[in-house]
Amino acid sequence: MSDMPSSRSTPHRNPEWSKSLFTVVSIVVGLAAVVALFWQRQIGDAWSSAFGAHNVKTGTTYVFQYDYGFHPRHITWRVGDRVTISLHNQSPTHYHEMMIGRSFDDTPSAFGPIHTQFEQDFWDGVHVTMSHAYKVDNFVPNKAIVDYAGPKPLVTEGGNFSPTLQPGGSLDLTFTVPNKPGNWEYGCFVQQFMHYVAGMHGTITILPAKT
């Protein structure tokens, strides 16, 4: 019997090379996920800019919160229409809120003024019904006239109208679009405006009532 090694012996694997390959693959997969998220946001913004302003929403508008952005990024309503915002926090880890308003209310800090909320609250004087509240961390009604259908969340004072949802939380806000035509903005001001800066904001166009 020959003492020569078999040509079919299993090749020796370099463990360091295997670790390097795993690291490279992990980085590539991570970058691909980031690029996909970036382009998803860009495509969504482009679609909203091209078609959102002409697509008047009635009935229910589903608004999804992500880390860190809203979908859709643009909504168009008409004064007098009955609408519902169905808000869903899709983040598995972060709390998010939704304020609607104009301009900014600034708070001084060592790093300069911080936008803490909108200066003008869209919801002032608006009759709104909150329903299907689930995992709502807290809710600030401010000057809105609120009815609660179902469980009432923790209500706090101070600041603009804003529901803050826990990860996986959701709720519905049903109201008649008030006579406040023009452009408005919605955003998340959690963590001292950092969520807004990271991309958590969008726009609302309110058209005058049909004559």
> What are the residue ranges spanned by the domains of the chain?
18-54, 57-207
> How many Cα atoms within 13 Å fall on the side-chain side of residue 173?
23
Instruction: State whether residue 112 is helix, strand or coil.
Output: coil
Q: What is residue 122's predicted lDDT score, i.e. its pLDDT?
A: 98
Strands 162-176 and 182-187: unpaired
Q: What is residue 67's predicted lDDT score, i.e. its pLDDT?
A: 92
CATH 1.10.357.10 fits 57-207, yes or no: no
Q: What is residue 42's predicted lDDT score, i.e. its pLDDT?
A: 47
Cα 167 to chain centroid, rounded: 12
- Order the strands of the 182-187 sheet from edge to edge: 74-78, 201-207, 182-187, 99-102, 120-121
Residue 189: CB atoms within 10 Å: 27
Q: What is residue 18's predicted lDDT score, i.e. its pLDDT?
A: 55
Q: What is residue 40's predicted lDDT score, i.e. its pLDDT?
A: 43
Q: What is residue 133's predicted lDDT score, i.e. its pLDDT?
A: 96
* Residue 43 · residue 69 · CB < 8 Å: no
Q: What is residue 94's predicted lDDT score, i.e. its pLDDT?
A: 95
What is the token pair recorded at 65? 């919160």
Q: What is residue 116's predicted lDDT score, i.e. its pLDDT?
A: 78
- Give the chain's residues under pLDDT 70: 1-54, 108-113
0.75 exceeded by the pTM?
no
Residue 50: CB atoms within 10 Å: 10
